[in-house]
Structure 1
Amino acid sequence: MTLAVFFGCALVAFGPALALFLLTVVSDPLRVIILVAGAFFWLASLLLSSLTWFVASKASGGPQAEQALQAGLLAAGVALSVLLQEAFRFLYYKLLR
């Protein structure tokens, strides 16, 4: 029963993405390369934003720091993460052009 539940949940979770991949991307090898490169750029931006968050949280005193400072760091971290993702998206666009 657990195997059936696993495959059922996996197909519900990943079925639409798999169908879109099979119907649009897999027919052209260049699209597969572009898809993998886009995923790499997204992961690189996520890594850079998580590293800055880690450094900022350790520099502020860790979890025992005051609540207002942690809330400010969270807001700044989210803003920095969005800006980094958009910057990497622009770099990826420039690379493709």
Structure 2
Amino acid sequence: MTASTPLTTPDGRYIVVRGRLWRCTNPALPERERQDWVQRLMRARRAVAQARRASDPQAEREARDEVDEAKRALGERGPVWWTDGAPDFTQRKVENTPYAAWYRDLATPSE
């Protein structure tokens, strides 16, 4: 794993960022559609930053809404994209989820 490759849970549902789970993009999205939404997400994030620098709350709200739209389209927010009925653990500390043992085992050197 490199610095640019996030730690991903074994089931591919989450990445781990600073000990918290964040939902991955829906792997069933066609690649072209995924790319389009990622580009829209990046533009919206830049617009949020620009609005904040300009102290423009209306533009910031609009840009944040665009971020939310893109993240929902990617499956990172809103209804979960998996179909087995498993709950969503987004934003929870890994140690407080069923992934706790897996995460702990990563930090424990194998013998």
Quickly name the TM-score band, shorter chain normalised.
0.3 to 0.5
What TM-score comes out, normalization by structure 2 length?
0.34
What TM-score comes out, normalization by structure 1 length?
0.38
Give the number of the structure whose alpha-carbon radius of gyration is greater: 1
